[in-house]
Amino acid sequence: MKFLDKMEKRLGFLAVPNVMLTLIVAQLFIYAMILMGRFELSALVLIPKAVLGGEWWRLFSFLIAPPYLAGTLFQALFLAFFWYILWMMSQTLEAAWGLTRFNLYLLLSVLFAVAGAFLGQLVSPSTTLFVLPKFLFYATFLAYATVNPNTQFLIMFVIPMKVKWLAWITVAFGCITFLSLPSIGHRIAFIAPYLCYALFFRDALKQSLEARQRRVKFEAERRLAADAPLHTCAQCGATDKSAPEQDFRYKIVDSEAVCVCKDCRESSQAPA
């Protein structure tokens, strides 16, 4: 896209290498500080009402807040796996897109998340919205699944599944979550970070939809051609589909090939 190309050229000098690794390390550090009692997770997350009340640091601190606090060993292992997958996907996207474009993708996701939180709070003032950095994982995951759709992940370390199907499952659960949210404001805040995905992959999604429509049209025409009869009697209208036992032959009439079934040939040859 021309807009993204221009932004990439203008902001290229601001690109940060290994930006996702930097965020993950910062989250690990903050997680350790929370375990030591130095910080409270609730003091770091983005809460529009709190920002408007003077706690401006939340506009930045929510990015280095851990996605959640593990209460069990399994949750701790899952959180470690969460960070590892996020780092792996970010490395792949950075190599595929280049440093600047990947930075721009994350930056727009963050900006949309902040804007969506404040807009959602404005639309639903009676609620208290908050934002954690989980959206960075899902935005990165959707981009990774689009760029590398046939990469396989091992579900529960056993079941192989292509990442594109995992992405569709994630989208399905996301739609269910979106519909189950209690207010319009919550829904705006929920969907806003993923507008960057729609912006980056608009052309690719359009081409994919057009290709799918062409495949559907081709399959419909192929089935129609397969169902159409090869031979149709010019006299009685019998076809090789309606009367497969018939013997169809052709004769030349006025320089054109005319199909005639066996019954019609015999009836025309019978003495009056």
CB 187 within 8 A of CB 120: yes
Q: Give residue 211's pLDDT.
A: 72
| pLDDT of 15 above 80 | no
Higher-pLDDT residue of 212, 108: 108
Question: Rounded mean pLDDT of the chain?
Answer: 84
Tens-digit pLDDT profile for residues 225-270: 777 777 888 778 788 777 777 788 888 777 778 888 877 877 776 5
Integer angstrom CA distances of residue 108 from 96, 102, 173: 18, 10, 23
CA dihedral 92, 96, 99, 101 (to 10 degrees): -120
| pLDDT of 187 above 90 | yes
Burial class (CB in 10 A: 0-12, 13-18, 19+), 18: middle
| pLDDT of 56 above 80 | yes
CB 64 within 8 A of CB 27: yes
Q: What's this model's pTM, rounded to 2 decimal places?
A: 0.74
